[in-house]
A and B are shown apart, each in its own frame.
Chain A
Amino acid sequence: MATEARILTGGQAVAEAMRQIDPDVVPMYPITPQTPIIQGFATFVAQGRAHGELVDVESEHSAMSAAIGAALAGARTITATSSQGLALMAEVVYIAASMRAPVVMAVGNRALSGPINIHCDHSDSMLVRDSGAIQLFAENAQEAYDLMLIAPRLAEHPDVLLPVLICQDGFTITHSAEPVVLLEDDVAREFVGEYRIPNSLLDVRYPTTQGPFAMPDYYFELRHQQLAAMQAALPVFEQMASEFYALSGRRYHSVEPYALDGADHAIVCLGSTGGTVKDVVDELRAEGEAVGLLELRSFRPLPRHDVRTALDSIRTVSVLDRADSPGGAPPLFAELAAALHGTEVDLRSFVYGLGGRDLHPEQIRAVFTEDSGAYIGLRGAPCPA
């Protein structure tokens, strides 16, 4: 079923996924390092190989607003952004989740200003952590492509109906070329299928008010509906991933263990870093060290039960955060602390790679061999905890 591997960047691969999905509406505003995604898709439209309505807007706030209107009208809608763009969208991402608009967003993760920077960390995604939007993280270009194809079905599932962010590390994935195997176009289209919305805004035979004011007597309940949808998203993702596996031979899970059997020290991380950690795990395993990795494919919803089951018998768990929270706990570490509460696990927090700083294999090795500081690569002794 699959075509031969092509050499594509993550941005190009996601643009190919968008061409195959052929969304109805793509509101877009360029920002590095996401731009290759919308540029690639716009090229496909110009060539007549995709047919979506490109809406050039004046800001990301408008892009997301247009996306909500389009999605609720009944159009399959995709947009893409990074960093400050996601920050400008943030207000509207919450509203999209609340209005249950299944907008798919390709995110090229990039550090938030300031200082201004264009390179990868996860601070932009973490800014919308509590928005009610699903966040899946890709390890490489292949995964970004695959997850992008799964995203519309996950977003549009009647038990879910939430925005889905497909996160790929800025530059590290968006701009790095590597072999990517695409599905055949017709196979991809059949997998994605048709978009059907429960109450189209444009259905004049059944007029509805959407996004109404909710006072203290109803706000709490409507927010809780989003929580229920997030919980439903976990089994729905497993189901979609299983169907995708049947077509592609590539299997995804919301949490993915790597060499965890018999491990007494595991790393937990998001995004491209997982690939580097796998190499280090392979080396250390060859040297007889009992180390492993738990890669989180899904950060929202956080598969707390599966995380706990995977890790609760491991002696030491080191959490690598590519975002920090000055004055508080780094976001991934906080999730792991909640998931592993009451276990005997020795849980450790590491912050790395802010603003795109590289994380080298020897630094990951140092995390496992217990001579790494909590702020990997920071010059100067960190502030006392």
Chain B
Amino acid sequence: MPELTAWRELPLGGVVRPGDTAPPHTGGWRTGLKPVVRLESCVNCLLCWLYCPDSAVQLDGTTFVGFDYDVCKGCELCAVVCPVDAIAMVEDDGD
């Protein structure tokens, strides 16, 4: 059981402030496949970044650099929207 907060210590109205929530680890929900990118084919259109429902697409400034597998659920949207087929879904080795 996580430690629960008494009512006086809670933010008023349950407001969630920056840094209040534990980092999500939705990557653990992934079953089967995960996306991998061939960066040499990537045209940096950032459609994958735009579509990703879990903010798993990592950028360096405005440049696509890879995936955050701690939050990627393996939904495949990125691979589907990639216009140059730079993203492939592969067997998840648990990384």
Which A positions have Cβ atoms within 8 angstroms of B? Answer: 98-100, 161, 198-199, 206-212, 214, 217-218, 220-222, 224-225, 228
Tally of B interface residues using CB under 8 Å: 13
The smallest C-beta distance from B2 to any residue of chain A, in angstroms, reads 9
Is the pair B18, A225 in contact by a Cβ cutoff of 8 Å?
no
Q: How far is the CA of A320 from the CA of B13 in the complex (A)?
A: 35
| CB 8 Å contact bits of B27-66 with A (1 = contact, 0 = none) | 0000000000000000000000000000000000000000
Q: How far is the CA of A224 from the CA of B8 in the complex (A)?
A: 9
Is the pair B18, A199 in contact by a Cβ cutoff of 8 Å?
no
Residues of A within 8 A of B7 (CB): 220-222, 224-225, 228
Q: How far is the CA of A222 from the CA of B6 in the complex (A)?
A: 9
Residues of B within 8 A of A208 (CB): 15-18
Flag whether B22 is at the interface (Cβ < 8 A). Answer: no
Residues of B within 8 A of A198 (CB): 12
Flag whether B84 is at the interface (Cβ < 8 A). Answer: no
Q: Using A206-B18, A208-B17, A218-B4 as known contacts, list a sample of 19 further A-B pairs with CB atoms less than 8 Å apart, ordered by residue number in A.
A: A98-B13, A99-B13, A100-B12, A161-B12, A198-B12, A199-B17, A207-B18, A208-B16, A209-B16, A210-B13, A210-B16, A212-B15, A214-B14, A218-B14, A221-B5, A222-B14, A224-B7, A225-B10, A225-B12
16 A-B contacts (beta carbon < 8 Å): A98-B13, A100-B12, A161-B13, A198-B12, A206-B17, A209-B15, A211-B14, A218-B4, A218-B5, A218-B10, A221-B6, A222-B13, A222-B14, A224-B7, A228-B7, A228-B8
Which B positions have Cβ atoms within 8 angstroms of A? Answer: 4-8, 10, 12-18
Residues of A within 8 A of B5 (CB): 218, 221
The smallest C-beta distance from B87 to any residue of chain A, in angstroms, reads 30
Considering the complex, give the chain A residue whose CB is closest to the CB of B9: A221
Considering the complex, give the chain B residue whose CB is closest to the CB of A226: B13
